[in-house]
Structure 1
Amino acid sequence: MDILFYLIHLFTETRNLLEALIQMKNVAILIPNEAVLCSIVDARTMFTGANDFLEAMGRKPLFDVKMVGLSKDVKFHNGTFSVHPDELLANSGKMDLIIIPAIGGDLAATVSANKAFIPWIEEQYANGAEVASLCVGAFLLASTGLLNGKECSSHWKTAPEFREMFPEVTLVDGRIVTEQQGLYSSGGATSYWSLLLHLVEKHAGRDVAIMASKIYALEIDRKSQSPFVMFNGQKKHEDNPIKKAQEYIENNVTEKISVEELSSMYAIGRRHFERRFKKATNNTPVEYIQRVKIEAAKKHFETTGKNVNEVMYDVGYSDAKAFRSVFKKITGLSPIDYRTRYNKEAAVV
């Protein structure tokens, strides 16, 4: 019995010592111009909530959360809302974690309007801070140059513009959370909750992240935003033969189209055609054909009562195994799972 009491005492002392060694994490939630307001509120909710969960578990709060801005009153939505930062950028101290919320508007103009944040983020990162961007906040993070040569996640809808503005950054299609060397980014819209959970788990532990996921009704460990992507071929380029090839693919979804057929149709050698197509659209011709067909299949599953085989034939596939494989590769779901999730009648059956 004495040994048992000794072990309990030793465990308690060890835990108390470890907790004493754990210092508060200084978390800065940036308040940029043209920020998406809900992403600021949600980030603050996650980290202050994590403190509440830690206290409920008999542990000390971990996150000292401050909103940091360029002015004392940052207005949103034409003055309908305003946020009053806890600290101005010029007066803020050393941070351990910086959260860049989603931004909106004309993204190039928004980045320019927030350029004062850039040297501060660079300096904080050089001094050991981690930096996380939520959704389209990746544009502001990428503007620092810290992501050059690294991978990044963002909203799928702004992918063409991101690649054009930041060619030295590898944008990862479909991934919810990307992490490299203390730099984090998340996929589109509310998928940033997955990154917030990831950061809470990393700093406060799996048990706190699970508690947060349950309290906020979030799916933990969600990896992909692929089911939500709507493919809309990149046509913001000046290569007219390639643009015509794209239109031909999109207008002939039911047909089996080969790369040879396309290249000869526009009198371009196959290898040169493939290089030009990839440069213009960021997809190979085969990838583009597949994505167009799968996007059409998704629409069928969402809006009709057709079964998998009927849809497969409608989009020009005759091999069920190949269709299922490509569909899952692009959407992250099997055709049946996709139909069940997005077709109201199928979900009821």
Structure 2
Amino acid sequence: MKAPRIPKLRVGFILAPRFTLSAFANFVDILRLAADDDDRSRPIRCQWQVLSDTGHPARSSSGIEIRPDAPLSRPKDYDYIVLVGGLLNEQSRIGPEYMDFLRLAAESGVPLVGLCTGVFLLHEAGLLDGYKCCVSWFHHEDFLEQFEGLTPISDQIFVADRDRLTCAGGASSSHLAAFLVDRHLGRAAAQKSLHIMIIDEAQVAENPQPGLPLELRTQDPIVRKALLRIQQRLQNPYSTSELAKSLGVSSRSLERHFQSALKLSPSATAQRIRLARAKSLIERTDRTITDIAHTTGFSDAAHFSRTFSKLEGMAPAAYRAARRSTSQDAD
């Protein structure tokens, strides 16, 4: 009788209360698709288990529950322990049993992975001291408010620093999982998983998050709220008066806050955000310039091209061609 085949990649998941379902699902589906050459989702080359100290189902932020299938024990049974965070409030905290398990895993040399706001929980457990970590641009300021002495990286999709791996969540979870599959099973297995999930190719850690330009970071609470609103409505931009009204302040007051915090007007800041998003789409997609102009709130392609050319010194189409030429030369 043949001895059972030992998986090359074993992952234990800890799901925080109200965890982010997409971060968990994207990560585990990469493992599932890489695990079985016959595409029958059998955990042959990869194995994954949801760990729990109670055995009770974990409820996601969307209300969908996941039933655990293993107790908190023997962290060395796994190659990685993955902590999936959720909404930033008291209900998202994990109990002391989980914190102790994570510390034991770290002491045992088991690498720890933080998905989405799981990085907050890893830091609370004292497990990120001396490490670089990745936080979504959406939660960058929240992280700075809660923790001192550690500046997170919010312009990359994930960060792998020795035995700590963290990512912004969402779609970036699939790329971090593919990075681990590549490491343990090879590039072909990673590419297979990504392609089945209709993802063209693996993104490297340094690829940028589609968020705010770093020069627009600020501690001003009014400006921070305004930046979030601008980001959420790129296709139909606010006027300065509409933005001020949505924040409950006067236009004059909003102008003063922006000038003090960023040395820019609200309208100039919004244009910078829209152009940064457009630049990312030009570099990373095959969408038409007209479509990108519409998506980022420009009245038409001609207006977009003039504005972009003034910033970059070349038209959007020329910029795309130059970037692709540079990329091919690097290959």
Shift of 1:237: 4.4
Unaligned runs of 5+ in 1: 1-19, 253-264, 267-273, 278-283, 338-349
Matching of residue 143 in structure 1 with residue 124 in structure 2? yes
1:228 aligned partner: 210
Letter in 2 for 1:294: R
Match of 2:312 among 324, 330, 344: 324
Shift of 1:206: 0.7
Distance 1:133 1:320, change over 3 A: same
Distance 1:26 1:78, change over 3 A: closer
Matching of residue 50 in structure 1 with residue 34 in structure 2? yes
2-structure distance, mates of 1:185, 1:230: 19
Distance 1:99 1:78, change over 3 A: closer
For 1:151-173, what per-residue CA distance to the aligned partner results, in whole angstroms no more than 9, with x for missing partners? 22222111110122123223112
TM-score under structure 2 normalisation? 0.64
Matching of residue 31 in structure 1 with residue 8 in structure 2? no
Q: Is the 8 A contact 1:31 1:74 kept in 2?
A: no
* Structure whose residues are more often helix by fraction: 1
Determine helix, strand or coil for the equivalent of 1:189: coil
Shift of 1:336: 6.8
For 1:62-116, what per-residue CA distance to the aligned partner results, in whole angstroms no more than 9, with x for missing partners? 3232110232122426995332211122x34423211122412xx1424534453
1:124 aligned partner: 105
1 or 2 for the larger relative contact order (CA 8 Å, sep ≥6)?
Answer: 2
2-structure distance, mates of 1:52, 1:123: 31
2-structure distance, mates of 1:126, 1:120: 10
Q: How does 1:194-209 map to 2 (within 5 A)?
A: 194-209=175-190
Q: How does 1:57-206 map to 2 (within 5 A)?
A: 61-76=44-59, 80-89=63-72, 91-94=73-76, 95-104=78-87, 107-206=88-187
Q: Percent identity?
A: 15
Q: Is the 8 A contact 1:73 1:82 kept in 2?
A: no
Letter in 2 for 1:228: P
For 1:269-326, what per-residue CA distance to the aligned partner results, in whole angstroms no more than 9, with x for missing partners? xxxxx9x95xxxxxx758x998544125459652334346x3477xxx7x946x1279
1-structure distance, mates of 2:29, 2:156: 24
Bigger drift between 73-82 and 211-220 goes to 73-82
For 1:103-150, what per-residue CA distance to the aligned partner results, in whole angstroms no more than 9, with x for missing partners? 12xx14245344532221122122121111222222222222222333
For 1:208-265, what per-residue CA distance to the aligned partner results, in whole angstroms no more than 9, with x for missing partners? 1111111221232324664631579666548x9x99xx9xxx959xxxxxxxxxxxx9
2:298 aligned partner: 304
1:294 aligned partner: 272
Q: Is the 8 A contact 2:80 2:111 kept in 1?
A: yes
Letter in 1 for 2:115: L
Letter in 1 for 2:49: K
1:213 aligned partner: 194
For 1:185-208, what per-residue CA distance to the aligned partner results, in whole angstroms no more than 9, with x for missing partners? 112422211111111111111111
1:258 aligned partner: none
TM-score under structure 1 normalisation? 0.62
Please identify the structure whose Cα radius of gyration is greater: 1
Letter in 1 for 2:193: A
Q: Is the 8 A contact 1:174 1:187 kept in 2?
A: no
Q: Is the 8 A contact 2:57 2:66 kept in 1?
A: yes
Letter in 2 for 1:324: E
Bigger drift between 217-226 and 179-188 goes to 217-226
Q: Is the 8 A contact 2:16 2:58 kept in 1?
A: no
Unaligned runs of 5+ in 2: 228-238, 242-254, 279-291, 322-331
Determine helix, strand or coil for the equivalent of 2:93: helix
Bigger drift between 30-39 and 224-233 goes to 224-233
Letter in 2 for 1:183: R
Shift of 1:52: 0.6
